[in-house]
């Protein structure tokens, strides 16, 4: 038996644009992604036999192959052409689920990193392809950092890192369905789009205010009005506390704010915690 411990970081979308519809029913995206210190911790044990079991500290997370950590393991051995051994995966879940923070994708990516470090059967490119078969955000989560992600999310290019800052994340309590939100987007009629080029330049210049000014997510516009009011209220708390910029992450509903001062970020988190227990003070990583 061999055992591994791996960290799975959450991600935020500094920008998220939907640029087209694809013949496969998916959408072409253009996103600037950033990983943060908020993370799950995975313990992965490779055993004798063929049993694949997943346990987590969150009872709402599936334990079958709908769990992206399990799906990633299955896909890894399939693509590697290696018979699957017994596997026990334990996930200490800290990243909110169904939150637009890439929690499930990051768990899947962590499993792929561990298995490829152990077996070395896939090239980096093949590992990213395997990730893409598991979920659209998995390729980015394998690498992490500051990245431009295009296509379905699998075309990655490294960007200059986000200047050091504090990131406050707040997940409101209402659920959002990613496929429904995608179906509401009409990418030819978007009123407003992120300035991705400007965002990339601001990153290159190490200009945190310029980055914060440009955070933008097209999905915020298609959230139903009542929910949008709630997101607006979260934004107001963050801005009043000193956030340089606030946006929604992924298909939501989590909001994040970028702060240059720790006291301001702590103030925002403290105020948000009064209403939202899933409010976090993190840093970019």
Work out whether 29 is an interface residue with ligand C5P (CB under 6 A): yes
State the minimum distance, in angstroms, from the CB of residue 136 to ligand C5P. Answer: 3
Query: Is the Cβ of residue 139 or residue 210 nearer to ligand C5P in the bound state?
Result: 139
Judged by beta carbon, residue 27 or residue 235, the one nearer ligand C5P is 27
Of 17, 40, 107, 137, the active-site residue reads 137
CA dist 188 to 156, 191, 192, 221, 247, Å? 24, 9, 11, 14, 22
d(CA 69, CA 141): 12
Instruction: Report the candidate in 234, 241, 215 with the shortest Cα–Cα distance to residue 174.
Output: 234
Could you give the string, one character per residue 166-205, with x where binding to ligand C5P holds by CB under 6 A and - elsewhere?
A: ------------xx--x-----------------------
Q: Which residues contact 34 (CB under 8 A, 6 or more apart)?
A: 11, 12, 13, 14, 145, 146, 162, 284
- Say whether 11 is catalytic: yes
Is residue 253 helix, strand or coil?
A: coil
Q: Does 27 bind ligand C5P (CB under 6 A)?
A: yes
Give the separation between CA 19 and CA 188, rounded to whole angstroms: 8
| Coil, helix or strand at residue 123 | coil
Instruction: Count Cβ neighbours within 10 Å for each residue of 119-145 and write b for 16 or more, e otherwise.
Output: eeebeeeebbebbbebbbbbbbbbbbb
Nearer to ligand C5P, 49 or 179 (CB): 179
Closest approach of ligand C5P to the CB of residue 188, in Å: 15
Contact flag: residue 149 with ligand C5P (CB under 6 A):
no
Subset of residues 151 to 170 that bind ligand C5P, contact rule: CB under 6 A: 152-153
CA distance 48 to 50: 7
Stretch that binds ligand C5P, among 21-29, 34-42, 192-200, 206-214 (CB under 6 A): 21-29
Nearer to ligand C5P, 46 or 98 (CB): 98
137 is catalytic: yes
CB atoms within 10 A of CB 164: 10
Q: How far is the CB of 178 from ligand C5P (least distance, A)?
A: 4
Report how many residues bind ligand C5P under the rule CB under 6 A: 11
List the one residue from 4, 7, 19, 26 that touches ligand C5P (CB under 6 A). Answer: 26
Positions marked active-site: 11, 137
Residues that bind ligand C5P (CB under 6 A): 26-27, 29, 135-137, 152-153, 178-179, 182
């Amino acid at each position: 038996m061999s055992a591994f411990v791996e960290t799975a970081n959450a991600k935020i979308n500094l920008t998220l644009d939907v640029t087209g519809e694809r013949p496969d029913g998916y959408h072409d995206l253009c996103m600037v992604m950033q990983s943060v210190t908020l993370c799950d911790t995975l313990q992965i044990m490779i055993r004798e036999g063929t049993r694949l079991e997943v346990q987590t500290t969150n009872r709402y997370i599936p334990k079958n192959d709908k769990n992206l950590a399990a799906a990633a393991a299955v896909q890894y051995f399939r693509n590697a052409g290696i018979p699957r051994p017994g596997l026990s995966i334990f996930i200490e879940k800290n990243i909110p689920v169904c939150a637009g923070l890439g929690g499930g994708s990051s768990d899947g990516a962590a499993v792929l990193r561990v298995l490829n470090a152990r077996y070395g059967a896939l090239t980096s490119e093949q590992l990213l392809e395997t990730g893409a078969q598991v979920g659209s955000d998995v390729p980015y989560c394998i690498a992490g950092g500051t990245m431009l992600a295009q296509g379905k999310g699998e075309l990655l290019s490294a960007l200059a890192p986000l200047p050091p800052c504090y990131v406050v994340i707040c997940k409101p309590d209402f659920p959002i369905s990613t496929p429904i939100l995608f179906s509401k987007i009409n990418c030819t009629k978007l009123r407003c789009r992120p300035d991705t080029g400007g965002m990339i330049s601001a990153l290159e210049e190490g200009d945190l205010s310029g980055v914060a000014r440009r955070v933008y997510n097209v999905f915020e516009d298609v959230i139903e009005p009542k929910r949008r009011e709630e997101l607006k209220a979260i934004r107001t708390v963050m801005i009043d506390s000193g956030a340089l910029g606030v946006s929604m992450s992924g298909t939501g509903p989590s909001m994040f704010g970028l702060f240059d001062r720790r006291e301001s970020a702590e103030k925002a988190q403290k105020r948000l915690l009064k209403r939202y227990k899933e409010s976090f003070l993190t840093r970019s990583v």
